[in-house]
A and B are shown apart, each in its own frame.
Chain A
Amino acid sequence: AQSVTQPDIHITVSEGASLELRCNYSYGATPYLFWYVQSPGQGLQLLLKYFSGDTLVQGIKGFEAEFKRSQSSFNLRKPSVHWSDAAEYFCAVGLDQTGANNLFFGTGTRLTVIP
């Protein structure tokens, strides 16, 4: 069975600083990998996804993520954080042995942005 680990529960960065949120997954085959963002009181919005091909994927709002098979990682990055990026970020993996794309989520990383 697959699992997702987000080792950082809470990260604080200054506005304009770079950001990297870590995600490690466990899965026997190449998984579908996703990053979602949840603003307070809101639903989940898809930032980006990796299915296959180029291991560096670009998403919305200036985010990117890199799939590293050797490290079982899919870290999310942004070169310059904006105050509006403050939210909770979830990494997820999909596609289990049944073929269904039900998602397994990490526990989330809460991002605080300080002026």
Chain B
Amino acid sequence: DSGVTQTPKHLITATGQRVTLRCSPRSGDLSVYWYQQSLDQGLQFLIQYYNGEERAKGNILERFSAQQFPDLHSELNLSSLELGDSALYFCASSARQTETQYFGPGTRLLVL
């Protein structure tokens, strides 16, 4: 158990819908990262927040957005969902920006 929690574990929705994935980092960790794992793209970095501020952006679509709240939990919002958004979404956290990342168990999203 890494100490990073993600909810929900599984999510099934339809194309065009919007979903929110939630992540609670390890106690004391200030940095949160979001990754997408899909069969065709592999593991890709999406976005990073540090103490509430966006710090780095990867291959994140404009339909996707994220935020980190004062209590340091983070949410990833996916809108106008397409079939190709079906993937495993991981959250990771680290104490500081250059520290080791610890991954949550992931949220498996299926868009039908």
Whether B2 lies near A45 (C-beta < 8 A) is yes
Q: Give the number of residues in A that approach B within 8 Å (Cβ atoms).
A: 23
Task: Enumerate chain A residues within 8 angstroms of B99, measured Cβ to Cβ.
Answer: 101
User: Which residue of the partner chain, among B35, B92, B98, B105, contacts A99 with CB atoms under 8 Å?
Assistant: B98
A22 and B85 CA atoms in complex are apart in Å by 30
Q: How large is the interface on B (under 10, 10 to 19, 20 to 34, 35 or more residues)?
A: 20 to 34
Inter-chain contact A99/B106, CB cutoff 8 Å: no
Q: In the assembled complex, which residues on chain A have CB atoms less than 8 Å from the CB atom of B44?
A: 105
Question: Does residue B11 face the partner (Cβ distance < 8 Å to A)?
Answer: no
Chain A residues near B55: list those with CB within 8 A.
98, 100
Residues of A within 8 A of B35 (CB): 103
| Inter-subunit contact A100/B103 (CB<8 Å) | no
Q: Given A98-B56, A108-B42, does the pair A103, B101 have CB atoms closer than 8 Å?
A: yes
Which residues of the partner chain A approach B50 to less than 8 Å between Cβ atoms?
100
Min CB distance, A61 to chain B, in Å?
15
Contact of B56 among A43, A49, A102 (CB under 8 A): A102
| Chain A residues whose C-beta falls within 8 Å of the C-beta of B98 in the assembled complex | 32, 94-95, 99, 101
B14 within 8 A of A: no
In the complex, A98→B57 CA distance in Å?
A: 10
Given contacts A43-B103, A105-B43, 4 further A-B contacts (CB under 8 A): A46-B102, A100-B50, A102-B58, A103-B35
**Interface positions of A (Cβ within 8 A of B):** 32, 34, 36, 42-46, 49, 90, 94-96, 98-105, 107-108
Instruction: Pick 9 A–B contacts, CB within 8 A, sort by A.
Output: A42-B105, A43-B2, A44-B103, A45-B103, A94-B101, A100-B50, A101-B97, A103-B92, A105-B44
